[in-house]
Structure 1
Amino acid sequence: MAKKEIVFQNSNYSLSYEILNFGKPQTILFLHGWGSNKEIMKQAFGQTFSSYQHLYLDLPGFGHSSIEAVIDTGTYSDIVHVFLKALHVKPFMVVGHSFGGKVATLLKPEVLVLLSSAGIVAPKSFKVKAKIALFKMLKPFFPKSFYRFFATKDVDGMSQTMYEILKRVVNEDFSEQFLTCKAKTFIFWGKNDAATPLASGEKMHTLITGSHFFPLEGDHFFFLKQNKQIEKTLLEIGF
């Protein structure tokens, strides 16, 4: 594991990363999802794509990377862009899981691989709508810490800054970004994904012109068991 110090908009960021297969001519950047870190991506793909250099990054606020302010997905992408320039690395492929898929899309790589990517806002159930309405009604009468009682389980152990970021990014609609995406795109999805439903992947596929869509067995973290199938599919189709 290594650290890279960068400055973005007058703020210092210490970004944790790891490189495998150092020196290979082409680089694949792997970006994890919300509440995770680079280790899960390395666990899945560390033994795949042996002909390519791998770059695993803890996004700001996750793993061993710092966070300085409440930011949105666009700013995450800008920070990663500065980081890549500082390393003098230009990945030809970016693999993004969930939240990392949105960041990957904004980086506009030559080849984009989305794993149960976030970015399609699914309709909220009546239960969720009622919970939000009740929270808004009671919020003025309770301290800030009260939010955790109503919040998603994703906030467990989360700092206030990261919670504010989550609130900002969770409902970002990336339909326009997918519609204008020019990358050669491969979309893989867990058939039993409850976090980002399969219908979201199907819609993403219709939005991204020329994209390839592959539903695979598994849940939101299907790629941990389907890593070899993902590698095989990509290598067989070709980049």
Structure 2
Amino acid sequence: MALKRITYNGQSFRLSYDILNPSKEKSILFLHGWGSSKELMRQAFGSGLSDFRHIYLDLPGFGKSDNDAVLTTHDYAAITGAFLEALDIRPFAAAGHSFGGKVATLLQPERLILLSSAGIVMPKPLKVRAKIALFKLLKPFGGDELRKFFVSADAAGMPQNMYETFKNVVDENFKSSFAAFTSPALICWGMNDTATPLEAGRIIAETMPEATLHIFEGDHYFFLKRKEEVLRRMEAFLETV
């Protein structure tokens, strides 16, 4: 593990990262999802793509990277860009899971790999909509004290700044950002994903001009149980350069 301190908008961020295959010329950046860390991405992909230098980054507020600020997805992309500039690395490819897929898209790499990416707003189930309505009704009487009873598992136990960040990013419509990505993209999805449903993957694939969608057995973390299949697909995609 290595640490790099960068400054963004007058604030300091200490970022934790790992690099594999450091002598390779072309790089691929791996970005984890919300509530996760670089360790999960390294577990999935560290044994493959041996022709590439791997960069695994803990996004601010996750893993061993700190964050005291309230951020947006565009802030995360800018911070990641500043980190890469500080290392003097311009990745050829970026692979992002869930929230990390949105950040990876904004970085505009030459090749993009999305793994069950967030960014398409799907209709919420009735149970969730009822919970939100009840919270809004009760909020004037309980304020932030009620938060712990209503927040999703993704937001539970967060510091206040990360909860505010979560609210900034959770329901973003990234369709225009996906449409603006015109380089080749590989979209991989778990057929039984309930966090980001397969229909969202189909919408992204239809939105991106140069995207192909591949569906795998599994849920939101399909790439852990199907990592050999996913790695083969990624290698084939990157070999077409």
Which band: TM-score by shorter chain?
over 0.9
How far off its partner does 1:23 sit?
A: 1.4
1:81 aligns with 2:78: no
Name the structure 1 match of 2:46: 46
How far off its partner does 1:163 sit?
A: 1.0
Q: Deviation string for 1:8-27 (max 9, x for gaps)?
A: 01000000000011110010
How far off its partner does 1:236 sit?
A: 2.6
The one-letter code of the counterpart of 1:177 is S
Deviates more, 1:228-237 or 1:194-203: 228-237
The one-letter code of the counterpart of 1:179 is A
CA contact (8 A) 1:30 1:41 kept: yes
Name the structure 2 match of 1:12: 12
How far off its partner does 1:125 sit?
A: 1.9
Give distance in 1, aligned partners of 2:225 and 2:183.
26
How far off its partner does 1:193 sit?
A: 0.3
Q: Which runs of 5+ in 1 are unaligned?
A: none
Name the structure 2 match of 1:153: 153
Deviates more, 1:198-207 or 1:145-154: 145-154
CA contact (8 A) 1:13 1:66 kept: yes
Name the structure 2 match of 1:166: 166
Q: Deviation string for 1:45-91 (max 9, x for gaps)?
A: 01010111000000000001011311110010000000000001110
Name the structure 1 match of 2:121: 121
Give distance in 2, aligned partners of 1:159 and 1:183.
37
Give distance in 2, aligned partners of 1:155 and 1:171.
13
SS at match of 1:114: strand
1:144 aligns with 2:149: no
How far off its partner does 1:158 sit?
A: 1.5
Name the structure 2 match of 1:213: 213
1:102 aligns with 2:109: no
Name the structure 1 match of 2:236: 236
Name the structure 2 match of 1:197: 197
Give distance in 1, aligned partners of 2:83 and 2:63.
16
The one-letter code of the counterpart of 2:18 is E
Q: Report how many residues are paired.
A: 239
How far off its partner does 1:210 sit?
A: 2.0
Q: Deviation string for 1:84-116 (max 9, x for gaps)?
A: 000011100000000000000000000000000
**TM-score for both structures, normalised by structure 2:** 0.97
Deviates more, 1:2-11 or 1:154-163: 154-163
Identical aligned residues as a percent: 50
SS at match of 1:80: helix
CA contact (8 A) 1:37 1:58 kept: yes
Give distance in 2, aligned partners of 1:234 and 1:219.
18
